[in-house]
Amino acid sequence: MVDRSLVTVERRGDITLVGIDRPEKLNALDLALCEELTAVFTEIAHERSIVVLYSTTPGIFVAGADIAELLERNAEIGLRGINATLFELIEQRRWPTVAVIDGPALGGGCELALAADLRVASARSTFGQPELGLGILAGAGGNWRLAQAVGLPMARRMLYAGERLDAAQAHAAGLIDVVVADEDDALSAGIAYAERVASQSWQALELTKVALRLHRPATTLYDMTAQALLFDSAEKRERMQGFLDERARRRAAREAKETS
């Protein structure tokens, strides 16, 4: 039994709210958070409901993976496919999942949103896949779910060049389904959208989801193998350590400015 301190679960009629609650780390995906989410989605796998996946903290979705932890991951851990396995579990759920994005959805955060069937985002949300700049790849579905959502040309720009999309651009590209203004409640909009889905035939929803999954590419094994190889590379360590050092430098500069 996994202790639950980073994820909340609330049932509201036909809707199950799954909240990510790690605000001090901008909901960065580390092993503990992934294990809690995996446990939750395993527990509710056969509960007939539409899941709404969201952040309990306004203005934050998932800023990416926990780089300090990623820095220490090696090939053996890479082959476990910690993020990829979780996202497969979310995608495989019998009934649809709606991701509510309010803020940055970067790296693993963007991949997490892509694993959901539908995405509702606030206008202040941003989307990106910066993995290549850290010496790894988008190995938890970004390589192919992103292309399915936005097409190959846009996926190449986001992956190769690290291009980021704001909410309007993401909506135009097909990455998100609904955009709500900053002053609106993205979670309320996501719940309303989930209720609309829940009004359909449950059996038809389940069978339609199976039909749509028949067209998806089976690349998870490649993603896990390639990521494992990159986890052991010296360049990955240099790039991630550089990222962490620069983040610490910016934090120290902010703190010095605040105290001066």
pLDDT digits (tens, 9 = 90+) for 61-86: 998 877 778 777 777 777 778 899 99
Cβ-contact 125, 104 below 8 angstroms? yes
Instruction: With H, G, I as helix, E, B as strand and everything else as coil, classify residue 230.
Output: helix
Tell me, yes or no, whether 225 lies in a domain.
Answer: no
Question: Rounded to an integer, what distance in angstroms lies between the CA atom of residue 161 and that of residue 129?
Answer: 9
Question: Rounded to an integer, what distance in angstroms lies between the CA atom of residue 149 and that of residue 246?
Answer: 32
Tell me, yes or no, whether 174 lies in a domain.
Answer: yes
Domains identified in the chain, total number: 1
Cβ-contact 219, 111 below 8 angstroms? no
Tell me, yes or no, whether 173 lies in a domain.
Answer: yes
Residue count (the chain): 260
* Environment class of 73 (CB within 10 Å of its CB; exposed 0-12, middle 13-18, buried 19+): buried
pLDDT of residue 174: 97
Tell me, yes or no, whether 240 lies in a domain.
Answer: no
CATH number at residue 101: 3.90.226.10
pLDDT < 50 positions in the chain: none
Tell me, yes or no, whether 31 lies in a domain.
Answer: yes
Tell me, yes or no, whether 163 lies in a domain.
Answer: yes
Side-chain half-sphere exposure of 194, counting CA atoms within 13 A? 31
pLDDT digits (tens, 9 = 90+) for 157-173: 999 999 999 999 999 99
Tell me, yes or no, whether 131 lies in a domain.
Answer: yes
Domain that holds residue 116: 7-220
Cβ-contact 12, 52 below 8 angstroms? no
Question: Rounded to an integer, what distance in angstroms lies between the CA atom of residue 229 and that of residue 236?
Answer: 10
* Environment class of 48 (CB within 10 Å of its CB; exposed 0-12, middle 13-18, buried 19+): middle
What region does 184 belong to: left with phi over 0, alpha with psi -120 to 50, or beta? beta
Q: Of the candidates 172, 125, 120, which has an alpha carbon nearest to the alpha carbon of residue 151?
A: 172
Specify the DSSP class assigned to residue 130.
-
Specify the DSSP class assigned to residue 174.
T
Tell me, yes or no, whether 165 lies in a domain.
Answer: yes
